[in-house]
Chain A
């Protein structure tokens, strides 16, 4: 009780950011290390896929129309005569040089093809994720306030059903009901006839906004409605269910009674206390949902004829363009690794306990 509080707070605080940074660097170094391992695992799986191909791998890589010379050229290029381990190392070597193989349909390097279709998919996934969060979080929290009655019971049943609807079927049915029968929304493609925007980001909504073209923005947005709604229906009902369960746990924690004893309303208890505590597992889920969204984009883009990574993959599958398929798998897997890193960063920024645990861990090493 006799210490002078004036002197000591300044010193440690002035150096605190510097000292705090080192564990963060270690945290991300570890995470990036894990990502590299994951990528290596992915590459190994992709290599394994090439070995699962029945028949002549060189023939498949060169395409069904390729003549014997072309097949032999491909065999040499892929080094298929070498031992498996050498092939594996060469496979990695080619990947490190950005060579994801060549499409037998477009005759383009797969990476070039993917760069072209990537923005459209990013646009779709981004909109879907926004809808996903904007729907699931408020609905789950409002429902939780009803504690099993009314809206809570209703949304639980609705979400259980929505999560069980096959995405590609919902896409087809929405296309039929809203596009064909009601004719209220565009059902196929991603832009109206004659609507042009500069190709800056490749995302049409963004390009329309940046170039100050509201009608093109509306056009691009309308084409996004059905695909994004289809995906958001599935993923937000999944996220809703997870958040509802997580909120239930958080609302049963011991610190809730003290909050209530302060005179807090049910709404405040839920939004200000239960929700932040309930979010971390939900953020983790939302991160893994991105991988699933990319998987579901294959179906939705195929149905709505959007030129995205998913449609490219679906098309490659249909054309038996196996090396384009494997290249796309690698590409999407790498994207997912980056997303995982981002999710880790978000978790670290939002969860003070995790931050403390990581700092403590860094301190011990």
Chain B
């Protein structure tokens, strides 16, 4: 069976001065119906860019490659087809709930708007908006739906954003760091909410995060992104038990774990490169503790390894020796 979403050789360029700057550089992945995929990586690696490209949210970007959703080529869609896809094919939750709601519109109207756009009558759209807000744990949803965003706490706002993403019945939910901006206490609540809602509806989920700690209990598969490329991909157990890429190991080492009393492994030194100054060869080589001479010269290709794949010269060599 064809996967729900299939992304091939995705490239994204942002306008820079007279030319373009490549921020996502040949990304491949797919998500099956009902599958949970986590996309992890440090800040600036191109996670949000990738997610927004799925819905073509930014007009100014140049997007190359292929994005097939439910059998249709997204990059070939007309603007009208895109509008139909956004909201009812793919729903999206954004990073900052404080900033992702229109401050001048009542929250109920903002949720109902997704349906109104699709021709649903005012009363029915409103009733369904209230129902989904209630389902997502907004108390007194009927009266609270008349309130404005600033009257809601961060956690409550994220529920409203989630309601907006889900109300038109999409098949894929893209959640771009849905809990990063929230209190630690609220984070798990919201994550559980996404978990339940997705399970009830059998949704495919792309969860973007730079916090590996929340990935283990949520995702089936993990994509690790570094400087605009996927460097490792595999089932969640394998990624945690036997990470093959030095960068993935670094990320996992940096996760605080309650069951680990011994000294944690040191987190990765240095900062991720800017897309404008991507290092030669393996983009990770300046920070890699196990770098080989070849890493400076040639970029490693993503090749199958175990149940997933990895793009690393050292991992390839180890595999060949084993």
Q: Given A260-B86, A262-B113, A265-B83, A277 and B104 touching (CB < 8 A)?
A: yes
Q: Are A255 and B100 in contact (CB under 8 A)?
A: yes
Is B86 within 8 A of A263, CB to CB?
A: yes
* B88–A263 touching, CB < 8 Å: yes
Interface range on chain A: under 10, 10 to 19, 20 to 34, or 35 or more? Answer: 20 to 34
Report A-chain residues with C-beta under 8 Å of the C-beta of B55. Answer: 260-261
**What residues of chain A lie closer than 8 Å to B113, measured between beta carbons?**
259, 262, 264, 272
Q: Which residues of A contact B139 (CB under 8 A)?
A: 3, 5
Let me know if B105 and A273 touch, CB within 8 A.
Answer: yes
Q: Which of B103, B117, B148 contacts A262 (CB 8 A)?
A: B117
Does the CB pair B140–A262 fall under 8 Å?
Answer: no
Q: Is the CB of B150 within 8 A of A9?
A: no
Minimal beta-carbon separation of A276 from chain B (angstroms): 4
B143 contacts the other chain (Cβ, under 8 Å)? yes
Q: Which residues of B contact A8 (CB under 8 A)?
A: 140
Does B91 count as interface, using CB distance less than 8 angstroms? yes
Give bound CA distance, A255 to B57, whole Å. Answer: 12
- Whether A264 lies near B83 (C-beta < 8 A) is yes
Within 8 A of A (CB), among B174-208: none
Surface stretch bound by B, among A24-32, A127-135, A225-233, A349-357:
A349-357
Question: B148 touching A258 by the CB < 8 A rule?
Answer: no
* Any B CB within 8 A of the CB of A13: yes
Most buried by B among A3, A5, A260: A260
CB B171 to nearest CB in A, in angstroms, measures: 14
A273's partner among B57, B92, B102, B114 (CB-CB below 8 A) is: B102
**A264: nearest chain-B partner, CB-CB:** B117
CB of A355 to closest CB in B, whole Å: 9
The count of residues in chain B whose C-beta lies closer than 8 Å to any C-beta of chain A is 37
Please count the residue pairs between chain A and chain B whose beta carbons lie under 8 angstroms apart in the complex: 88
CB-CB < 8 A to B117: which residues of A? Answer: 262-265, 268
Q: Which of A225-257 contact B (CB under 8 A)?
A: 253-255, 257
**Residue B2, interface by CB 8 Å:** no
Q: Which residues of B contact A352 (CB under 8 A)?
A: 103-104, 148, 150
* A1 close to B (CB within 8 Å): yes
In contact, A253 and B151 (Cβ under 8 angstroms): no
Contacts of A254 in B (CB 8 A): 94, 96, 99-100
B113-140 CB mask vs A (1 if < 8 Å, else 0) is: 1100110000000000000000001011
Query: Measured between alpha carbons, how far is A351 from B104 in the docked complex, in Å?
Result: 7
Residue B161 is within 8 A (CB to CB) of chain A in the complex? yes
Q: How far is the CB of B72 from chain A (nearest CB, A)?
A: 15
**Is there a chain A Cβ closer than 8 Å to B168's Cβ?**
yes
Complex CA gap A257/B88 in Å reads 16
Whether a CB of chain A sits under 8 angstroms from the CB of B84 is yes
Contact assessment for B92 and A263 in the assembled complex, using a CB-CB cutoff below 8 Å: no
B52 within 8 A of partner (CB):
yes
Q: Compute how far the CA of A259 lies from the CA of B103 in the bound complex, rounded to whole angstroms.
A: 12
CA distance A277 to B118 in the complex (A): 24
Whether a CB of chain A sits under 8 angstroms from the CB of B87 is: yes
Cβ of B86: which chain A residues have Cβ within 8 Å of it? 260-263
Q: In the complex, A257→B99 CA distance in Å?
A: 10
Task: Find chain A residues with CB under 8 A from B94 CB.
Answer: 254, 257-258, 261
> Do A263 and B140 touch (CB < 8 A)?
no
Contacting pair B99 A5 (CB below 8 A):
no
Which of the residues A13, A257, A262 comes within 8 Å of B52, measured between beta carbons?
Answer: A257
When C-beta atoms are compared, the residue in chain B nearest to A351 turns out to be B104
| A1 vs chain B, min Cβ distance (A) | 7
Q: Which residue of B lies closest to A278 (CB)?
A: B104
Q: A253-B99, A263-B83, A264-B83 are in contact. Are A258 and B92 (CB under 8 A)?
A: yes
Distance of A268 Cα from B110 Cα, bound (Å): 12
Cα of A365 to Cα of B164 in the assembled complex, Å: 37
CB distance from B65 to the nearest CB of A (A): 21
> B residues within 8 A CB of A263?
83-88, 114, 117-118, 168
* Closest B residue by C-beta to A260: B57
Residues of A within 8 A of B87 (CB): 261-263
Choose one: B83, B88, B101, B151; the contact of A255 (CB below 8 Å): B101
Chain B hits for A262, CB < 8 A: 86-87, 113-114, 117, 164, 168
CA distance A71 to B91 in the complex (A): 83
| With contact pairs A261-B86, A352-B104 given, residues A255 and B164 touching in the complex (Cβ less than 8 Å) | no
Residues of A within 8 A of B52 (CB): 257
> Closest residue of chain A to B92, judged by CB?
A261
From A9, A259, A356, give the contact of B102 (CB < 8 A): A259
Chain A minimum-CB-distance residue to B174: A261
Interface 0/1 of A1-16, CB less than 8 Å to B: 1010100110001000
Instruction: Specify which chain B residues have a CB less than 8 angstroms from the CB of A276 in the assembled complex.
Output: 102, 104-105
B residues 32-81 near A (Cβ < 8 Å) are: 52, 55, 57-58
CA–CA, A125 to B12, complex, Å? 53
- Give Cα A353 to B102, complex, Å: 11
Q: Known contacts A258-B100, A263-B85, A276-B104; can you find 10 more A-B pairs with CB under 8 A? A: A8-B140, A13-B143, A257-B58, A258-B94, A261-B92, A263-B83, A263-B87, A264-B83, A272-B113, A352-B148
27 pairs, A vs B, C-beta closer than 8 Å: A3-B139, A9-B140, A13-B143, A254-B94, A254-B96, A255-B99, A255-B100, A255-B101, A257-B58, A258-B92, A258-B101, A258-B164, A261-B86, A261-B87, A261-B91, A261-B92, A262-B86, A263-B117, A264-B117, A265-B117, A273-B104, A273-B105, A276-B104, A277-B102, A277-B103, A352-B103, A356-B150
The 6 closest A-B pairs by CB, nearest first: A254-B99, A263-B87, A276-B104, A352-B148, A263-B86, A258-B100
